[in-house]
């Protein structure tokens, strides 16, 4: 009799767990449906486009402090150099860790199907390990860019800047020349 009662208690407890799990599952389904509705509010855009926009907005909010600090340091160096116009360069001549232009091609580093470049084995290892080092901020638009696909330009001191497109680089040069006058 005692064993039968224990089995009955276990079965009741198991039934409660199943009911509780179903309730949580149902609540999560409702949350997902609400999220889909919120993302696809704009009927003109596809759900994928809305998700991409939301992700980009979130990325702007969570830009790592290391990236922000690096950009501020680079911009400070940029101002200190009082440089002339930037010159577009071939990305393979850039150490993407030091953001410096070199006279010879650098060591290619393949990460997620994209090619980055480093000047030594240490830079190669750091590029492989750190997503932040593979990113930069376009000094004109303020957007995060992937160094492997960005337009690279250097000043007369070899400091490299990354732009999301060539138009931004040209506009940046134009603004710089106006501010120097």
Which pLDDT tens digit goes with each residue over 135-157?
999 999 999 999 999 999 999 99
DSSP SS3 for 134: helix
The torsion angles phi and psi of 136, rounded to 5 degrees, stand at: -145, 170
pLDDT over 90 (residue 168): yes
Query: Contact at 8 Å (CB) between 137 and 143?
Result: yes
Which pLDDT tens digit goes with each residue over 96-107?
999 999 999 999
Q: Six-digit token pair at 172?
A: 């940046």
Query: Contact at 8 Å (CB) between 129 and 157?
Result: no
DSSP tag of 93:
G
């Amino acid at each position: 009799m005692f064993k039968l009662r224990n089995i009955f208690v276990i079965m009741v407890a198991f039934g409660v767990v199943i009911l509780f799990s179903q309730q949580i599952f149902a609540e999560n389904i409702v949350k997902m449906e609400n999220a889909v509705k919120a993302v696809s509010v704009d009927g003109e855009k596809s759900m994928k486009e809305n998700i991409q926009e939301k992700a980009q907005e979130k990325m702007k909010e969570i830009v790592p402090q290391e990236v922000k600090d690096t950009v501020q340091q680079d911009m400070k160096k940029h101002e200190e150099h009082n440089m002339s116009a930037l010159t577009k360069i071939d990305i393979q001549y850039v150490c993407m860790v030091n953001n410096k232009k070199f006279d010879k091609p650098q060591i290619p580093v393949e990460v997620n199907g994209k090619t980055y470049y480093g000047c030594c084995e240490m830079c190669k290892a750091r590029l492989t390990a750190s997503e932040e080092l593979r990113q930069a901020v376009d000094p004109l638009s303020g957007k995060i860019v992937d160094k492997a696909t960005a337009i690279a330009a250097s000043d007369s001191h070899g400091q490299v800047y990354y732009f999301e497109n060539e138009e931004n680089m040209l506009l940046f040069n134009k603004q710089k020349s106006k501010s120097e006058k």
